Amino acid sequence: MSPTMIHGVDNFTNIVVDSGFSGPPREELPVPTVPPFTAFVGNLTFETDDEAVKEHLGPGITSVRLVKDPMSGKPKGYGYVEYGSQGELKVALGKNMTSLGGRTIRVSVAEPRTSFRLQFARKLTNSNWTKWRTFRCRNCI
């Protein structure tokens, strides 16, 4: 019988070491055949800058965008790297699970960008807000 895991500690109170990545594994996206050829880079140290990413992920990079908190301006530990060709993106994907700044980074195909309106519409449709609004408006009459 295997021990039950609860928040990183088994039922025998032994600390369990994990890979450092939380959540279920994500479905891998296919490599795009048309631009933009963008890679998602995660698990970066907060000290990692654009130049370090460019140096580690090789030639062919057209832009690097490390995401920062809008309020504090501090890095969030992930970003997006755009390449000029599909071949250059494939080379970068080969550097998944390599070390940068003392941490194992993740490199994968980035999900395509969506507009803010589309993201907001998806959130509304996926929530119960529309049901609540319809119910509330019917009872207001």
pLDDT value of residue 49: 94
Q: Does domain 30-110 have CATH number 3.40.50.850?
A: no
31 close to 109: Cβ distance less than 8 angstroms: yes
Summary mean pLDDT of the chain: 79
pLDDT value of residue 14: 46
pLDDT value of residue 28: 84
pLDDT value of residue 69: 93
For residue 99, what are the β-bridge partners? Answer: 104
Residue that wins the pLDDT comparison between 115 and 20 = 115
Taking 3-state DSSP, the helix, strand and coil percentages for the chain, each rounded to the nearest 5, stand at 30, 25, 45
pLDDT value of residue 82: 97
pLDDT value of residue 17: 44
pLDDT value of residue 2: 45
100 close to 44: Cβ distance less than 8 angstroms: yes
0.85 cut: is pTM over it?
A: no
Percent of the chain with pLDDT over 90: 56
Residue 110 CA to residue 79 CA, distance in Å, equals 10
pLDDT value of residue 33: 92
9 close to 68: Cβ distance less than 8 angstroms: no
Longest dimension (CA), the chain: 64
Q: Could you read off the pLDDT of 58-87 as tens digits, one per residue?
A: 889 999 999 999 999 999 999 999 999 999
Q: Could you read off the pLDDT of 112-141 as tens digits, one per residue?
A: 877 666 666 666 665 555 554 554 555 555
pLDDT at 4 over 60: no
Domain boundaries, the chain: 30-110, 114-141
